[in-house]
Structure 1
């Protein structure tokens, strides 16, 4: 009878261990199911965020295309303005060269003092060319004074 009692005690302790193990495993399964729900929520949030990011990227691509077109248009406009300015500068340089030639010719015709600015003659016998030469010389003198003032 002692052997049966010992065998019964052993079976009872094994049953208690099995019950405890089943309880622990049940709790682990519950946690895994709870983690599965949280994982599903996390995956859903990631999918939603990915969709939002893809839409934002598409919008950014459209904005980039618009910016590229606008920038290209502005660059073409700037190039046109630069070409116009270059042509105007060249025309201004041609005018200055002609004025320099006129002043040089006027200097040979009517020499002037170093500080005096030539006056336009009032006499009817003086030709219009001489008056133009005196005016060009006056403009040249003023321009030279301005350039000296800027250089200083």
Structure 2
């Protein structure tokens, strides 16, 4: 009887251990299935990361090419702007020298006559969002203004006779025309530079 109890206890113990083994193997099987599903998702994520990194490398190469092209374009435009600035300053100097020569000719042709200084302004800027360009013409340009002089008669009474010489009028008109032409040339150069 004793051996029957021992055998029965041993069988019950083996059955309990067998049930515990089956339960643990089922749990392990479920975990393995989850790990395999996670492994598939992980492989897909790694593939997506590889594709995204290759796309990013191509985008970086494109950005570098665009940046190089922008640098070249900017350098070309800066060179063009420097050339226009040099041309503009040369034209301004030439205009100032022409105006100085014309005013010298006018002052030599009509000595003793009143010569007034007038302020000249640069033309208004074409676009409202840009700042006004500084005046490139000398603000104190001599522009002759000829006035008729009265001559006195023999009896002491004065008569208003016009004594303006034709050469003085021509030189005044020439000075005004040269000033207008230089302002138009400056306006064209500014519009080209813009």
Shared fold (TM-score greater than 0.5)? yes
Matched, 1:8 2:11: yes
Aligned partner of 2:66 among 63, 66, 77: 63
Instruction: Give the number of the structure whose residues are more often strand, by fraction.
Output: 2
* Equivalent residue, structure 2, for 1:146: none
| Alpha-carbon shift at residue 127 of structure 1 (Å) | 6.8
Q: Distance in 2 between matches of 1:35 and 1:26?
A: 14
Aligned partner of 2:146 among 88, 103, 118: 118
2:106 and 2:171 in contact (8 A); partners too: yes
1:102 and 1:136 in contact (8 A); partners too: no
Matched, 1:52 2:80: no
| Count of residues paired in the alignment | 131
Matched, 1:87 2:90: yes
Instruction: Give the number of the structure whose residues are more often helix, by fraction.
Output: 1
Q: Distance in 2 between matches of 1:8 and 1:111?
A: 139
Q: What are the Cα deviations for residues 86-110 of structure 1, in whole angstroms up to 9, with x where unaligned?
A: 0011111112222332343355344
TM-score by length of 2: 0.58
| Alpha-carbon shift at residue 136 of structure 1 (Å) | 6.3
Q: Distance in 2 between matches of 1:9 and 1:46?
A: 54
Aligned partner of 1:73 among 72, 76, 81: 76
Structure 2 portions without partners, runs of 5+: 116-144, 149-164, 181-194
| Alignment RMSD (CA, Å) | 2.9
Structure 1 portions without partners, runs of 5+: 121-125, 144-152
| Alpha-carbon shift at residue 76 of structure 1 (Å) | 0.9
